[in-house]
Structure 1
């Protein structure tokens, strides 16, 4: 129960931060009537997605090792499609420049807590060690570098935005490697010396499935959004 509470609490904190970033950007970008509408859409979208994840993650439909993975089809892919469409459609919008650049980058430090939960999940038998820092998941290492890189990049009078952009790309590469570890632990367990899937099905049920359906996609979304903003700034 304590471990489940940890996933729920972290997800709640991440959603609150998303709302904070959204409200900050909206307040700087729109007039009062538009602000209300945009804020309502933002909050309702986050709430509805959480309700959806709760419903899907509590059904037996996703409890399968069949290919393609049902949890990816219902949780990860829709979030990735949204990220791609949303950022592409808004890449030239003026509001993008009002996004809090520093806070968005430092936000990626939340992955330290995600990986800490992974370590606790290994001890509880929810995850296999290969999916944590004890194995081939180096996301915590990346997350630990974020505060230091941010301090270096933003400490000068002229911020080193190219360094921040590069670190965003690096973060996406690290996330891709984590996804690779999770997928191969299910569909190619022989890579890890096993003859059956290493990821327990319990790991994709609610609330553990919040990693796949919310926490990881949010990290990807914020990376891509930050890159779009930095590209716009560096072009000017």
Structure 2
């Protein structure tokens, strides 16, 4: 990845910092949240810089170690009393603004595509429409939580649609990578996400966005019952 211009790497670094700060703020500046997140980022930076994730022939792919630990932690948070207490204190306003990160991420992915380290299918010129979630986030924030003219059904629907969009790009990214399960983009596979700092996208930004949607949907459903 040495041939990539620094500004593309900077986009992903700054996007990660933004995600972490928004989660920290949404969680009422919880020390445990920031410590766990920063430790996880540091660990994955060291592991990815060692070249660990560039070995793609293993089954299951080593890439799974980027995604599954935070997903498991999220699941544990929803199914334990202590975890639910923490999640119930999250600010839905801030979680909604967190989705702004999807704008620079999608622009960064497009830059990676232009330098032939991710396929077109992973960008907004392909089958990735996730940038729309970022662009509509401030609208949903303003009319849903400031003006309060959007009811809970509309907010739930928006979150579900954006969650489906997230699932679409995540599955596309995995199936476009040079793993034994690869299905797409054999001429230009998804290589970038195996390297630092781009590993921070699947190990931090994506789980953060996932958590924001799940917490918001759960809270909105509970409040409308």
* CA distance in structure 2 between the aligned counterparts of 1:69 and 1:92, rounded to whole angstroms: 29
Q: Runs of 5+ in structure 2 lacking a partner?
A: 1-5
Paired residue for 2:8? 3
Deviations 1:163-201 (CA, angstroms, capped at 9, x unpaired): 112211222111111112112223344x55x4x67112x
1:225 corresponds, among 215, 218, 221, to 215
**1:118 CA displacement:** 0.7
Higher helix share: 1
TM-score by length of 2: 0.84
Paired residue for 1:216? 206
2:22 corresponds, among 3, 17, 23, to 17
TM-score by length of 1: 0.81
Q: Runs of 5+ in structure 1 lacking a partner?
A: 25-38
* CA distance in structure 1 between the aligned counterparts of 2:142 and 2:28, rounded to whole angstroms: 25
Would you say 1:160 and 2:151 are equivalent positions? yes
Instruction: Say if 1:92 and 1:21 are closer, same or farther in 2 by CA, change over 3 A.
Output: closer
* CA distance in structure 2 between the aligned counterparts of 1:60 and 1:218, rounded to whole angstroms: 24
**1:87 CA displacement:** 2.2
**1:65 CA displacement:** 2.5
Deviations 1:35-87 (CA, angstroms, capped at 9, x unpaired): xxxx3322211221111111221122211232322112x11011111111112
Q: How does 1:1-236 map to 2 (within 5 A)?
A: 1-23=6-28, 39-66=30-57, 67-72=59-64, 74-90=65-81, 93=84, 96-154=87-145, 156=147, 160-186=151-177, 187-189=181-183, 191-192=184-185, 194=186, 198-200=189-191, 202-235=192-225
8 Å Cα contact 1:150-1:164 kept in structure 2:
no
| Structure ID, larger Rg | 1
* CA distance in structure 1 between the aligned counterparts of 2:152 and 2:67, rounded to whole angstroms: 29
